[in-house]
Each structure stands twice: as structure tokens, then as C-alpha cells.
Structure 1
Amino acid sequence: MTRRVPVLGRLTPSRLGALACTAALSASSLAVLYHVVDVVGDLRVFWVVLVGSLLLAAIAQAVRPRTALAVGACLLGAGLLAYVLTAPESYARSLTVASVLDDAVALLTGYSVLRMVNVLVWALAMVPAPAFLTWYFALRGRDAAAVGVAGLALGFFVLTGDSTATATLVGALAAAGAVGLGTLDAHGATRRQLETLAVALALVAVAPLVVTVTPGGTGAAFGGAATAPSTSLTNADERVGLGGAIDLSPNVQFVVRSSSPAYWRVAVYDRYTGSGWVRTGDGGSLSGPDGPSEPLTQTVTAKRPLSAMPAAAEPVAVEGVDYRVTSGGNPVPDGVLVANESYRVISERPRGGRRALRTAGANYPAAIESRDLQVPDTTGSRVAALADNVTAGATTPYAKASAIERWLAATKTYSLDAPAANDHLVRTFLLDSDRGYCVHYASAMAVMLREEGVPARFVTGYAPGKRTATGTWTVRGVDSHAWVEVYAPNAGWVRFDPTPAGPRADAERAIIANASSSSESGGGDVGATASTSAALSTSTATSTTVSTASESSATTTGAVTSTGASANTGPLGGDPTLPAPRVLLLWAVVALGVAAVVRRLGLLERVRRAVWVRWLPRGEPAAVVAGAHERMLYVLGRRYRPRRSGETVREYLDAIEAPVPARRLANLHERARYRGEIADDDANEARRALRALRGENGRP
């Protein structure tokens, strides 16, 4: 007997609208994966995987939904297996059920997927299953199921914080539109009904403007300036957003006692997203450079609350506070350092400085090449061509770094009022703008070096500050800074600072002078004004940034004791904490939506029936036979067709040409019902017949 193949039927305007809404909803989640692949991989691979998944969905129209679900599960399982097999060896060794659950909780409470070390394989693995199932159901006209699959994918990225507010809003509107138009198409849409649906969609669009519960949103829903929460270059956040005007604080942040000055490093970022930088992975260890080094001891005293621990590179030991270590090798306090709290750091500084890079070759470790040469595909060929032009004639990594550093300092104007980048920060700064500050200079140099095959990373922290006594440096908010570190084989990371020193110093002096003038006229003491604001924060009116998440959250950071021993067990790591109220509220809304979809599809009843048909009857022989007979009719109805009203059991079995076990079970039921001649042996025979029937017809 051949199976009936569902078809879309007549393509009415309502049906076409439902398909368009499904496409918009699916695109809202796929856009996140597209961005991830753009940042770390080859977009051509993304398109091949996506098109292949859509073609498979079209071909699979001939199979039953349960078969399609099995195919989707296999696609997802194969992808996750590929992710595990290609994950770093340290993660594979520590893979346990507990670590997987911890990672899942971390992702669902705001841990960006861009922080995953092996995110390219993960992103490509996540494309096939949702795309296949969404369009399998959509092409069969099962709009609720299609929306359920695509909606779950989008909801996941909302919880990780990777879906923008605009994408989330579009997805919500599209989901409502797909279900509404699909329902109207099934029952014959009228103009009045379509108008009612339009009003409902308008309400969905307006609601987020009244109450915002979406975590991780990074932009305005409709036009206007795309703003983000204020962020700091000196808070060791897992992300740093770039672009827009900034305000530098003249207040003293901390004081360092050291035998010599240094750049006080706070955070290291290795993944450039186009609009910001992300630190991948979690949990690291304090370790010195790869080559010869010399020790430097520092005692740092906070003068206002600090959520970071500035220290010269490379810190190898910390005393005085409890801390953990980021994947970039920087210590971060467990909590916030209060005013006058101190800690002691021992750092090992690479001996020779830039001279180490001058004589180093280009034989980079595989881990360095895979992590610190990454540039998004959409950065464009013009940036690569500019890097080639600037470094023309430079044959060594040192010569290329020096050439780019000189070119940026000579051709770009330092300004704290740089315009926001609407797209890629580096591309805008290099090709379309002539103004920027340290973030622009450092980002541009790192990306240009990567285009030239030289590993580089983006670093934030503080310049040395002002020497106020013998062996003492006072560091203010105006000293917060960003620079570049370039990797030298067998030596370590070497600092380069492409920001023009003169203009930057002039801007700092002007800020301090203005603050001092304000203090003298009653505005307060510049050095001691109580302020817990960030030293360097983005303007909420003009910045286009990636949203930030504080590294102080134990959800996303591997814990490290004061001895420096890491307790991290995976690329996510950390102990989960209770999500914020708005995340819990969103979970509740998602749960209600899932419950509605489940009820709409009758999934609970199907699950109940699936369990019921496999639970063989127990008890009195007559009850056993009656129960087995009822289950037999259900199995046959699923396999062939349901029994029609007024049709006797014998007529039904003859019509569908039922197998022998079904006929044996029917005879037993007739004997039990009309003769009352039934015994334990008959009950056992009924169970055997039902088992045989289920085995012959497969899973009902």
C-alpha cells in the first residue's frame, strides 16, 4: 500500500504570505549563524550547508513527519558529534554530563556563542536541522510546526544574547503572521479576518517599545541611533563594543608601586566581529612569555571600586585578593575591589621587547594561527589591499608591524569625537573616516596585520600614568587605553601602540585641566571625587556597539583560586547562577509559547498514545484481551485507516487485509465478549499477538 504524499495545494495569497513569514522567521535565527560564520569562517560553506538542507526538505516531502523528525534529529546529532570530535583536547577530556549541562545553562543565560572556541564547527552544525525541519513542515502546510522549530532556534539566540532586538522583533512578527495566515488560508480568509490579523501584528510590534524583556538586545527596534549599554575598556568584560564618541574620566583609578613603569594590561581580545571584539573561551592560567623574560613586581592599590586587576604583561603570580584567570591570561577579582584595597602582582616581561620580533620568523603555532589571524569575510578586499599597499617592501613581521604603526599615526587624526561606524568599524575608519581614538587605531592595526598573515590581538588597559613619587605611578581614567600585541615565535606577545602620543597627551591634559577648573569652582576634587562610573564609557547617543556582559558573572567564567589553579572544565565553564528576572520572564513566555504549540499540534495526546500502545495490559484475562484488542485497532488505524462508523471488526479486518496476529486477537476478543470463555493462556496469547502486530507494523 502506498503512502499519501501531502502537497501544498493551491498557492493562495494567504498561503504565500504564510511562507514569506516563515522565511522571515527562519532568517532571523539563521542571521546569527551567518554572522558567526562570517566572523570565523568561509561564508561559501554556510551557503552550501543551508542550500543542501533546503533541498533535502523539498525531497523529504514524500516521507512521514515522524521520519522527517528522525532525519532532523540525526542531522543535529551528527553536527554535535562533529563539534565534540573537533573540540580542543582539553575539553574532550573533561566532557561529562555535568559539564554539558553547565555549558547549556551558561548559553541560556547570556553566554554569547561567539565566545566558543570551536564556534565555526558548532555554527555549521546548527544550520541543517532547524532549516530542514522548518521547511519540511512549511512546504506541507503545517505552519504551527514550522513556526515551532524556527521559533525555538530564534529563542535560543535571544537567550544567548546574540540576536539583536530588531531580529527578535522581526521573528516575533513573522511567527504570528505565519500561524495567522496559515490558519486563515486553511479556513478561507476574508478581508475582515486579514485586517484583524494586521492589527494583532501591529500590537506585537508595539509591545517591545513599551516593555523590554529581551536580554542581549543591541539596537533600537525602529531606526534612530543604535545604542548599547555603557561599557568600559577597563572592566575586563567578555566583549568590548567599538565606535562613537567617548568621555574620559579625570579621576584617579589606582596607584601602582613598581620599580619601572609599564602598560597596565586589563583584558585581551582575540576575535574581531566587525563591530567589536570578543574574548573566546573561559578559564586560563597565569604563565610567562615563551622566551627569555625579566620579573617585575607591582603593588596596585585601588582608589575607587575596580572590577579588573591591572597588571603588566605577563602576570605569573598574584597575592592579596581572591581572583580567577581569563582565557587571555589576565587575573580578575572575585567581586569588586573597594577603595584602598591592594594586591601584589609578579609579571614576567619579555626580554628585548620589539627586538624579539625583529629577529623572529613566521613559524607560528597552529593554535595561534587559528585564533589570532581571524578576519570576518565581510571586512572586504579593500582593507586587505590597503594593508598590502602600506606594507609594500616589508618582508618581516616586525617590518610590517612598524609600517602599519607609522602609517596610522601619520594619516589619521586623534579625536574623542569620532563618528560611529554603522557597519564594520575598521573598514569605516580605514576607508571612510580620518578621525578616531585608541580603539580605532588598535583595531585597525590588528586587522591589517592579520590580513598580512601576522598574528595580532586587541588589548585594553591603562597607559603608565603619572609618576608622583619614587617608584609610584598614579593612574587616572584618562590613562585608559587600547593597544596591539603582536606574536613573536619563541618570544611571546610584543606590544605596539599606533595611537599618536602627542595628540592623545594633549587631550588628556585638557580633560584634567577642565576637571580641575570645575573642582576649584565648587565641582569637587578631581583626585578623590567618589564615583563608581566606568573610566571609559561609550556615549549612549552615538555609539554602535556590541553589548557587554560583565566577567564578574560566575556563569561565564572559570573559577580560579588565589593560587592560580583553574577549576574550569570546558570552553564555557563556571558554576551557573540564577538568571536575571527579565531572563526568567522570557523563559516563562517561551514556555507558554511552547505549551501552546504542543497543544496545537496534539503532541501530548500523541505521546500519551505512544506510551499507552506499548504498555501491555495486566489484570484479569478478560480485561487483558479487551485492552489488547483496543490497542490493536489503534495500531491498524495508524498503519492503514481508522475503522469507519458502523463497520464491524471483521469487515474492517477484511477491508484492510489485516495480518494474522490481528485476526487472532479479534477472535480472542469475540470469544471473551460473547462466550465468556477466557483464561490466563488466552490473555498471554493476546499479549503475544499484540507484540507481533506491533513488530510487523513498526512503531505506530
Structure 2
Amino acid sequence: MTRHVPVLGRCTPARIAALACVAVLSASSLAVLYHVVDVVGDLRLFWAVLFGSLCLAALAQAVRPRYALAVGVALLGAGLLAYVSTAPESYTRSLTVAQVVDDAVTLLTGYSVLRMVNVLVWALAVVPAPAFLTWYFAFRERYAPAVGVAGLALGFFVLTGDSTGTATLVGALAAAGTVGFGTLDAHGATREQVETVGVALALVAVAPVVVSVAPGGSGATFGAADTAPTTSLTSAEERIGLGGAIDLSPTVQFVVRADRPGYWRVGTYDRYTGSGWIRTGESGTLAGPEGADERVAQRVTAKRPLSAMPAIAEPVAVDGVDYRVTSGGTPVPEGVLATNESYRVVSERLRSGQRALYAAGTDYPDEIERRYLQVPDTTGGEVDALAADVTANASTPYAKARAIERWLERTKAYSLDAPAANDHLVRTFLLDTETGYCVHYASAMVVMLRAEGVPARFVTGYTPGEQTGLGTWTVRGVDSHAWVEVYAPDTGWVRFDPTPADARINAEEAAIANATGTDAETPDGDRTTSTSTTTTTSTTTASTSSVTANATPVTTVGGAEGAGGSTLPGPRTLLLWAVVALGIAAVARRLGLLARGYRTLWVRWLPDGDPDAVVAGAHERMLYVLARRYRPRASGETVREYLDAIDASAPARRLAALHERARYRGDVGTDEADEARRALRALRDENGRP
């Protein structure tokens, strides 16, 4: 017998609740793909693909589930085929079954999808299948398969590390709610049963909060940032979060013996997410710039454990340690450099510096344009308009870079107490705030250049540091820095630094002067003051960014307390609080707390105006007070009989008489209305306030 296909328009409280939970669960899994498309493409593409998938799910209701599953598999297969066909040629040449399996394992062990080079096509390819199948089953009231499909999608992004803690928790609650409400819908649930499931979900949502604030609790569920974790600039991790006030430490990081000083580069990042930077791709090679005309030899000695290999750009040869090369062309140690461990590096750099960009054209390679012109769709047109205004009189890439660099130096104030910016650091810095530090300046310049069609990237590392001997430079935590590199065709990457130099140096000197703790020996025997500031690790959240290996965050989510007050939490945090608030309201309703609170206010308040209305209202409240004190009036029992049965007091009998007069004679006035109020107050006092 063919199973009856439910009508899409059929509505019961349990079904509405189940479909709402499906929507929340589906949104939790699709949120990652939405964010990906926002970062690297046009959100209109995301909405078009999603809308088409939902329409297909509605149209396919007459199709049997096995055929729908086949359609879902076909959608996923076609999407992945499109992804492979548009992937870089180097990837398709090496594509084998073993490579596909290896890629899948890599993704499922914490490799962020945002690091994928061709991630826009991949994201749009993945959207249709889970959206179609989830809603196909949900519309057919087969809630368990709907939860299974959406739950698998969410679980996948949990394993890649792209789903936030908030989204994961909300998705898990929505999955439980879908099953619970769906079961009630199938068995004809009462309103009370639906409310009971809502109460249970609310308790599950509230439980982590209770644990986090109880003695021994492990963390604040709602206080954690939802953005990518930050990284120390002494570790060359693949992603770095930005924003929030910081402290800098004068602790010595490493010592360099070199022919001449330079900016010691640690990492380069190409993909801006709104709240941080990501380095896409897997590995690269050590190669000098096409226009290199100077070689610099350096020997770097770690003075504390380092997970990066600082070097002047561009390094072309390294020896002394085992290392790998990132896709940005920077060496990274295979392990952690131990204290006093050294390596030797040879770099090739442009002696001409910014003059190389001055003479360069705009004939950029396709790979450079694809990788270094990306800006999230939600950054907004105001940033584009600002970039156009700042560069209005600039016609060359060099002129645009100099115009933006000077504008940032002139219009923004340097401060280590800059507030966090949640999901839109650059937009907030450019349009809403007046202060920032190096990561704000550098991020803003990269985004503004990209808006003007000039390829640029975000770079982290250290300024030269202090010369402590002939050919020797000592580099401390306060020297950590972020800057910009602009691409010059047929030449290479050219450094720009929009952070005001004087203000930055003053902050570094102040950090050294104000340092507390035990004295530490510098590598050359000079004594300097170290700090008790702890080392920030890669688990630090993005709202409390660590710019250095020894930067201690001093803000919490929502803004820097020392930077002019707090701001609202992010939208995902607000969403979870809304879930909790609704759950608490459901609990209160089930326990009768809402009704009791309403009645308490209702009894204490009498309408003004028409005396008949005042007397009628006082009479109704009298019956409520007596019902709570004695018993409710029985059906068919007159008011007089009821008052005699409970041996009511004089105020109650007077109110009954006034009500009879108002109802049958209609001649009560303001005096009778005032008397009704006094009688009700007396009745409340003698029976206790409800």
C-alpha cells in the first residue's frame, strides 16, 4: 500500500515546531557554506542554489524516498564533478582514488574548508544535496531521515573545524527537537506535551551555562567567540584571528646575526574572512622574487620555543633544521625550535623596495588575481566607496598603495586597546572606530587595495628589533608586527607599512619600561626586564587577538573594556540566548509562573474611567481572590450562595452588592467606584496578596 503523502499546508502545533527545528538544524549546517560563499564569492549565488534546492524538495513530494535519495546523490556527484573540472590543473593531474581518500581524511581531521583554493565551486556544489534531502523528508513528515541528512552535514563541518561551538550546540538541540516534536505530531500530541518537549530542550540549552559558572566549570558557553582561533606570530599556523585589546611583552624571542637588518617575516595570508586571515593551499617552494637584486644571509637563534622561522623575504635556502614550506613560500619547522636552537637562511630581496612597484604595470597573472583580490561579500559597498575616494587621484598601483598608506597613517590613531570587531574587523575599523594597531592597519590596507583591483596580502612577523652588537639584532615580543605586501608584475611582492611608526615605537618602549617580573639576561649579557605576561597560544579566541607570542588578551567577547566600553555579542551568541530565553519562558508557563505573575498584577490594578467598568472589574477580582483563599464558585451557584457557603467577610459582600446595583439598576457613580476599590483592597489585605 502506498504511503499517504502529507499535505504541505497541514498545520498542527507539533508539526510547526518540528519544521521549525528542521529549519534551525539545516541553517546550522548550511551556515558554514554561507560563510564560505560570503568570503570568496557572491551571496546571491548561495541563495539562488538554496532556493532551487528547496523548490525541488517541494516538487518531489510525489517521488518515492529511494528515488529522492538517488536525486540527492546525483546532485552531490554532479557538484563534485563540477568542482574537479574547475580545479587547478596541477590538482587534476595528480587526481587518483588514493588522493581523494587522503583529501577526505584531511578534511575530517581538522582541515578547514576555507583553506581550499577552489572553495567557492566546492561550497556551491555541496549546498543542493543536503538542502534537498533534508526538506524532502521534512515535508513528508519523515523527521528521522531529515535529521540524519542535516546532522551528517553539520557533523562534517564540526570535524573540519569550521562549525562554531554555538552553531553546533544549536544544531544538536534542533535535532533533538525535530525528533521529539515529530514523534508527538505522529501520535496526535496535546499542547501540554508540545510544551513539555520545549521545556526539555530549554533545560538542555541552559545546562552548559550552569556548568560553566559552577565551581569547577570548564568554560563559558556563551562567552566564547565564534570566529577562527588566533595564532601567535611566532607560530606560522594557517589561520589567524584579529581584534581585541592586547598587551605586548619585551621578552626576547630570537637573535639574528645577519649582513643587514630587515623585517623578519613569519607568515603570509591571502584569504580574508571578515574576522581573520587564512592561508589557502597546502605547500609551496622557496623561490626568490623575479626582480631580486640582493642576497642576505642570516643565522637565527631561538631564545624561547618557536614554532615559526622568521626570515627576511624572500627565503631561498634554509639549513640547520627540518622544515616544510607553506603555500606562501615561508619555511616552517617540522617541530618546535628549542631554546638556543639555530638555523641558517639565505634570502633574496628587492633592493629597490617600493620603487619596483612604481614602475610596474597591471598585467597580473590569473593565479594572482584569483588569490589576492578576494574580499567578503558582506564587507559592504561603503568600504569600496571609501577606497575609491581615497585613491581618486591615483592612477597606478603604486600611487594607490601610497595614498591608502598615508590616509591610514593620518586618519587613524594607534592604540593597543582597540575594541574587538566581531565578524567585520576592517569595516568596523574604517567606518566606525578611530583606533587600532598593526593588524587593523594592515588588514584595512589590503582590503582597500583589493577593492581597487590591486593584489595584496596580509603579512605577519617582526620589525628589525634592537641592534645589540656588530651584525646582531635582538628581537622581542614588542617587535612583533603585521604589514602589507603588494604584488608587482614581473618583480614580486613589495612591502608597505601603514601603521604609524612613531606611535608603534612609543608603545613598544612603554611596554618595556612598564614590564614587571624577574630580570632576564639578554643574549649579549645586557640586562632587560622580562614580563610576567603569559604566552598566548593558538587556542585564544579571535575576539581577543594575540598579535605576538607574548601578547595577553585583555578583552572579552563583545569589545575591550579598556577601549570605551563593551559592545553587543555576535549574532550567533544572541541567537543562543534567544533559545534560552524562549526555553525559560516555556518553563515558566508550564509551572504557571507567567499566569501567576499576570494575575498578581491584574488583581492589584483596576481600570480607571467608567464606574460600571470599575465595579465589574473589582467584582471579578474579588471572585479570583476568594477562589484562591477558599474554593472556586461552583457551576450554577449564585454569588450570594457562594458568599454564604464560604462565610465571606463584609468587603466581599459589599462588592457583590455594588455589582448587583451596577448590573440591574445602572446608577453607580464615582463614589461607588471608589468604594469598590476600597473594598477590594481590604479584601486583598485580609486574605493575603496573591
1:528 shift after superposition: 7.0
In structure 2, the partner of 1:262 is 262
Does the alignment pair 1:356 with 2:356? yes
Equivalent-residue separation in structure 2 for 1:102 and 1:406 (angstroms): 47
1:267 shift after superposition: 0.3
In structure 2, the partner of 1:514 is 514
Equivalent-residue separation in structure 1 for 2:145 and 2:390 (angstroms): 54
SS of 1:317's equivalent? Answer: strand
TM-score, with length taken from structure 2: 0.74
CA deviation digits over 1:52-101, x for unaligned, max 9? 11111111111100000000000000111111111111111222222222
SS of 1:537's equivalent? Answer: coil
SS of 2:104's equivalent? Answer: helix
Does the alignment pair 1:495 with 2:495? yes
In structure 1, the partner of 2:619 is none
Does the alignment pair 1:537 with 2:539? no
In structure 2, the partner of 1:574 is none
Question: How does 1:138-153 map onto structure 2 within 5 Å?
Answer: 138-153=138-153
Q: Which amino acid aligns with 1:188?
A: G
1:178 shift after superposition: 1.1
CA deviation digits over 1:6-57, x for unaligned, max 9? 5457311111111111011101111111110010001111111111111111
Contact residue 409 and residue 498 of structure 1 kept, 8 A? yes
Q: Which amino acid aligns with 2:176?
A: A
Equivalent-residue separation in structure 2 for 1:512 and 1:301 (angstroms): 22
Equivalent-residue separation in structure 1 for 2:209 and 2:518 (angstroms): 38
| TM-aligned CA distance change 1:321 to 1:517, over 3 Å | closer
Equivalent-residue separation in structure 1 for 2:273 and 2:9 (angstroms): 44
| TM-aligned CA distance change 1:477 to 1:417, over 3 Å | same
SS of 1:282's equivalent? Answer: coil
Contact residue 289 and residue 349 of structure 1 kept, 8 A? yes
SS of 2:247's equivalent? Answer: strand
Does the alignment pair 1:305 with 2:305? yes
1:473 shift after superposition: 0.6
| TM-aligned CA distance change 1:3 to 1:506, over 3 Å | closer
CA deviation digits over 1:531-573, x for unaligned, max 9? 982424351633679xxxxxxxxxxxxxxxxxxxxxxxxxxxx
Does the alignment pair 1:505 with 2:519? no
1:367 shift after superposition: 0.3
Contact residue 515 and residue 526 of structure 1 kept, 8 A? no
In structure 2, the partner of 1:678 is none
Question: How does 1:31-46 map onto structure 2 within 5 Å?
Answer: 31-46=31-46
1:354 shift after superposition: 0.6
1:192 shift after superposition: 3.9
Question: How does 1:185-204 map onto structure 2 within 5 Å?
Answer: 185-204=185-204
User: Identity across aligned pairs (percent)?
Assistant: 76
Equivalent-residue separation in structure 2 for 1:517 and 1:467 (angstroms): 24
Question: How does 1:537-686 map onto structure 2 within 5 Å?
Answer: 537=551, 539=553, 541-542=555-556
Equivalent-residue separation in structure 1 for 2:49 and 2:68 (angstroms): 18
1:529 shift after superposition: 7.5
In structure 1, the partner of 2:182 is 182
In structure 2, the partner of 1:444 is 444
In structure 2, the partner of 1:81 is 81
Contact residue 286 and residue 315 of structure 2 kept, 8 A? yes
In structure 1, the partner of 2:480 is 480
Equivalent-residue separation in structure 2 for 1:374 and 1:16 (angstroms): 40
Rg bigger for which structure?
A: 2
Equivalent-residue separation in structure 2 for 1:162 and 1:49 (angstroms): 21
1:220 shift after superposition: 6.0
Does the alignment pair 1:101 with 2:115? no
Equivalent-residue separation in structure 2 for 1:272 and 1:470 (angstroms): 40
| TM-aligned CA distance change 1:208 to 1:290, over 3 Å | farther
Equivalent-residue separation in structure 1 for 2:227 and 2:284 (angstroms): 32
Q: Which amino acid aligns with 1:360?
A: A
SS of 2:24's equivalent? Answer: helix
| TM-aligned CA distance change 1:537 to 1:95, over 3 Å | farther
1:224 shift after superposition: 8.0
Q: Which amino acid aligns with 1:486?
A: V
Q: Which amino acid aligns with 1:299?
A: R
SS of 1:515's equivalent? Answer: coil
1:274 shift after superposition: 0.4
1:513 shift after superposition: 1.2
Contact residue 314 and residue 349 of structure 1 kept, 8 A? yes
Q: Which amino acid aligns with 2:231?
A: T
| TM-aligned CA distance change 1:237 to 1:424, over 3 Å | same
In structure 2, the partner of 1:368 is 368
**Structure 1, unaligned stretches of length 5 or more?**
213-218, 546-700
SS of 1:247's equivalent? Answer: coil
SS of 1:285's equivalent? Answer: coil
Question: How does 1:153-302 map onto structure 2 within 5 Å?
Answer: 153-209=153-209, 221-222=221-222, 231-302=231-302
Equivalent-residue separation in structure 2 for 1:530 and 1:100 (angstroms): 48
Question: How does 1:421-460 map onto structure 2 within 5 Å?
Answer: 421-460=421-460
SS of 1:84's equivalent? Answer: helix
Equivalent-residue separation in structure 1 for 2:163 and 2:554 (angstroms): 20
Equivalent-residue separation in structure 2 for 1:226 and 1:346 (angstroms): 40
In structure 1, the partner of 2:583 is none
Question: How does 1:339-350 map onto structure 2 within 5 Å?
Answer: 339-350=339-350
In structure 1, the partner of 2:51 is 51
Q: Which amino acid aligns with 1:405?
A: E
1:159 shift after superposition: 1.3
1:196 shift after superposition: 3.0
Question: How does 1:108-147 map onto structure 2 within 5 Å?
Answer: 108-147=108-147
383-392 vs 526-535, which moves further:
526-535
In structure 2, the partner of 1:548 is none
Equivalent-residue separation in structure 1 for 2:428 and 2:9 (angstroms): 49
Contact residue 254 and residue 302 of structure 2 kept, 8 A? yes
Equivalent-residue separation in structure 2 for 1:230 and 1:239 (angstroms): 7
| TM-aligned CA distance change 1:305 to 1:373, over 3 Å | same
CA deviation digits over 1:84-140, x for unaligned, max 9? 111111111222222222221221121111011110000000100000000100111
1:206 shift after superposition: 3.2
Contact residue 231 and residue 538 of structure 1 kept, 8 A? no
1:5 shift after superposition: 4.6
CA deviation digits over 1:575-632, x for unaligned, max 9? xxxxxxxxxxxxxxxxxxxxxxxxxxxxxxxxxxxxxxxxxxxxxxxxxxxxxxxxxx
In structure 2, the partner of 1:326 is 326
Contact residue 533 and residue 550 of structure 2 kept, 8 A? no
Contact residue 233 and residue 537 of structure 1 kept, 8 A? no
Equivalent-residue separation in structure 2 for 1:4 and 1:229 (angstroms): 49
1:422 shift after superposition: 2.9
1:350 shift after superposition: 2.1
Equivalent-residue separation in structure 1 for 2:18 and 2:77 (angstroms): 29
Q: Which amino acid aligns with 2:63?
A: V
**Structure 2, unaligned stretches of length 5 or more?**
213-218, 521-525, 537-548, 560-690
Contact residue 467 and residue 473 of structure 1 kept, 8 A? yes
| TM-aligned CA distance change 1:115 to 1:295, over 3 Å | same
In structure 2, the partner of 1:596 is none
Between 1 and 2, higher relative CO (CA 8 Å, sep ≥ 6) is seen in 1
Contact residue 265 and residue 311 of structure 2 kept, 8 A? yes
Contact residue 465 and residue 473 of structure 2 kept, 8 A? yes
Contact residue 238 and residue 278 of structure 1 kept, 8 A? yes
Contact residue 246 and residue 417 of structure 1 kept, 8 A? yes
Equivalent-residue separation in structure 2 for 1:171 and 1:3 (angstroms): 29
| TM-aligned CA distance change 1:102 to 1:226, over 3 Å | closer
Q: Which amino acid aligns with 2:163?
A: S
SS of 1:10's equivalent? Answer: coil
Equivalent-residue separation in structure 1 for 2:41 and 2:224 (angstroms): 31
Contact residue 269 and residue 328 of structure 1 kept, 8 A? yes
SS of 1:149's equivalent? Answer: helix
Contact residue 303 and residue 340 of structure 1 kept, 8 A? yes
CA deviation digits over 1:302-339, x for unaligned, max 9? 11110000000000110000000111100000111011
Aligned residue pairs total 536
